[in-house]
Structure 1
Amino acid sequence: MVLICPPVLKRTTTMTFPLMKAGFLFLIFCTTSSAEMRWLALLRQSSVATRGAVHERVEICNIKELSKKQSKICQKNLEIMNSVRLGAELAIQECQWQFKSRRWNCSTGGKRIFGKILKTATREAAFVHSITAAAVAHVVTRACSSGQLQRCGCDRTVRVKPSQGFEWSGCSDNIAFGTAFSKSFVDARDLRRARKKSKPRALMNLHNNEAGRKVLEYNMKLECKCHGVSGSCELRTCWRAMPAFREVGIILKEKFNGATEVKPIVSGKYTKLEPVNIRFKHHTDTDLVYLRPSPNFCELDEKTGSLGTHGRRCNKTSRAIDGCELLCCSRGYISQNRSERERCRCKFHWCCYVECQSCVRTVEINTCN
């Protein structure tokens, strides 16, 4: 359930976050003009001039795609925006890996990042919001632990000696800081829309953003190192560590498969999201929710953002979604033989090199009509 309070008249305190020294990786993406997740336009910034003039650096924060609050956070904490951008890149990579064999494969081609899919309140949009919020939190937290941020380091709150036979040591990941920044920056635009107008789509986005962060937070792990003679483990020192982001992606993909269709319900001054089917169990804080059914993504449809599956490679022996029958939407497929050259018959020579021959093998490529 998502509850949105009435507009707050008091001026709230803006969180400030530490600076980051690492530079941006370079990727080229087109601008997104969609009202949803417009801050992804940061992906088209090749770098942040951390050593440049102040006015040059602040210009990055004044791009039209950022809300006023996001722009203020950027200006006060410029160098941490490297982590925001890297988080967006990580989210896209994970999204494309998780959906590589589905009709919607998390494509970022065309004039907008993710096309128009974010304009529709489908479960695909829900997944993008959750994976992106989680990725930003993950990258910021990792930057804390690695010492890249000046005012954020390891989590020092887990220092009380427990009774389980180990003591806290090492560098526990500061997940509280990472999730707080993600919430402040990523949620800024939708939080304003939800408070002032109780927009159902804003409520949906906020819930899914938080679901992504909760999945990351709830799957923190205890990692330990043994100390003692000959590895006797007489003493263990342990710390809290984040899961690998691939694990987060797998969990959120499962949440995508079991996402709940919801509808807005007005109750007095509040608006909340309730399941469309009252026989279904109510969604939890880690479940994904959506407002509109997804298109079948079989054909090109500019209105929904569907790119269709024409020309996609498929597996003719599979009965799953990557199989030619389902992926090609029963339109049939074309099989072609292609010659590929690869290394083969490799031998190791002492010392120390490997010698291989070059072989040609024929592979069958199946593409959807």
Structure 2
Amino acid sequence: LWSRSKMLDGHLLLGWLSFTVIVYLLNLPGPTAAYFGLTGNEPLSILPLNSLPEENMGRAHYKLCDRLKLEKKQRRMCRRDPGVAETLREAITMSALECQYQFRFERWNCTLEGRHRANILKRGFKETAFLYAISSAGLTHAMAKACSAGRMERCTCDEAPDLENRKAWQWGGCGDNLKYANKFVKDFLGKRSNKDLRARVDMHNTNVGMKIIKAGVETTCKCHGVSGSCTVQTCWRQLLPFHEIGKQLKQRYETSVKVGSSTNEATGEGEISTGRSQQQPQPLPGLNDQIPRTMDLLHIEDSPSFCRPSKYSSGTAARKCYKDKNCDAICCGRGHNTQSREVTRPCQCQVRWCCYVECKQCTQREEVYTCKG
């Protein structure tokens, strides 16, 4: 058994820290699409609701809605249900932490503060695609969970879908309300102009985030009956943990399809294209020779290396790396420094009756690797 501090891996530790620190998100908008959270177009300071003065707690969600710097329609939707404001805050925090976790071993480590993210959102990189997808996925996931947790006034548990074997099934428990969440997110993000390529690509990536959530719905069942005979099953629908959603989106980031635009001769409107068509038999330079699928992330231009300081990142100098895992890649061939230090960690932990874990403190020496400048 390990103490709580030992049990927390990097992902859970980030989640725990989110309740003790202020999450600052700052950006300027790109030219298109659904703005919110990591793709929002205003500076954000996301504070816990309990940080507000006690006398104002009755309308605390109004203040939080204002802090989120939402558009007029979004602010109206935020204010009409006290549970929405906290759910929006949770969606932003969850998306930010998951983005940082998924890219912790990459040159671009999902830096969210300052001008770097703002400049990335102005471009059509793979990283931009991921930010749009993880933002919409986080909002969808958080809203569906908020409904089933009873935190919303306008939605509750998921309703029973059509089941093939109703004699053996009873719809019970409290399923995550994905139907309401999807409707809310589509209405909240709204429809924006899709006349140019960037707008259509951003909206496509936003939809990928929502579709990933839907594809991951699982039916969870609990047996009822004498001596575990399971004569009746109570079942409900449940979303995958958001960490799994982040993992799937990271995989789609790795295989993101680069696209351009072409004109549909029948309608005269622009369409997303990878560069190969009857009129253009050879692929356009730098574009993938494949047809993008509905679940593919799309990008328009190649990403920078993120090796050196630029308007897109602070570079990788002094970044911590793991010698046998990613130092060569992250340090961009510049090599790495090695430092030896003593660290004290809980060890030899035991559960004491009734309710606490007792650990010794062990000191050991470890090596830390950081990229050279």
- 1:53-64 matches, within 5 Å, as none
In structure 2, the partner of 1:288 is 297
Deviations 1:247-290 (A, max 9, x none): 11111111111111011223235332122465733222211001
Paired residues of 2:224 and 2:230 also in contact (CA < 8 A) = yes
- SS of the residue corresponding to residue 34 of structure 1 reads coil
Q: Which runs of 5+ in 2 are unaligned?
A: 1-18, 277-282
Distance 1:202 1:31, change over 3 A: same
- 1:5-154 matches, within 5 Å, as 27-35=22-30, 37=35, 40=40, 41=42, 43-46=44-47, 52=56, 65-77=69-81, 79-111=83-115, 114-154=117-157
In structure 1, the partner of 2:270 is 271
Deviations 1:193-246 (A, max 9, x none): 32xxx1322111110110010010011001000011221212212111111111
Counterpart code for 1:336 = Q
Counterpart code for 2:99 = C
In structure 1, the partner of 2:306 is 297
Counterpart check, 1:155 vs 2:166: no
Q: CA RMSD in A?
A: 3.2
Distance 1:67 1:164, change over 3 A: same
- 1:237-248 matches, within 5 Å, as 237-248=234-245
Counterpart code for 1:193 = S
Report the number of matched residues: 333
TM-score (norm 2): 0.79
Counterpart check, 1:173 vs 2:176: yes
In structure 2, the partner of 1:252 is 249
Counterpart code for 1:266 = T
- SS of the residue corresponding to residue 336 of structure 1 reads strand
TM-score (norm 1): 0.79
In structure 2, the partner of 1:7 is none
Aligned-partner Cα distance in 2 for 1:173–1:67:
27
Distance 1:236 1:357, change over 3 A: closer
Paired residues of 2:23 and 2:93 also in contact (CA < 8 A) = no
Paired residues of 2:346 and 2:361 also in contact (CA < 8 A) = yes
Aligned partner (choices 227, 231, 241) of residue 234 of structure 1: 231
Paired residues of 2:221 and 2:234 also in contact (CA < 8 A) = yes
Aligned-partner Cα distance in 2 for 1:269–1:213:
29
Give the C-alpha shift of residue 340 in structure 1. Answer: 1.0
- SS of the residue corresponding to residue 103 of structure 1 reads coil
Give the C-alpha shift of residue 334 in structure 1. Answer: 0.6
Q: Which range moved further: 209-218 or 234-243?
A: 234-243
Give the C-alpha shift of residue 157 in structure 1. Answer: 4.1
Aligned-partner Cα distance in 2 for 1:104–1:349:
43
Give the C-alpha shift of residue 346 in structure 1. Answer: 5.2
Identity among equivalent positions (%) equals: 31
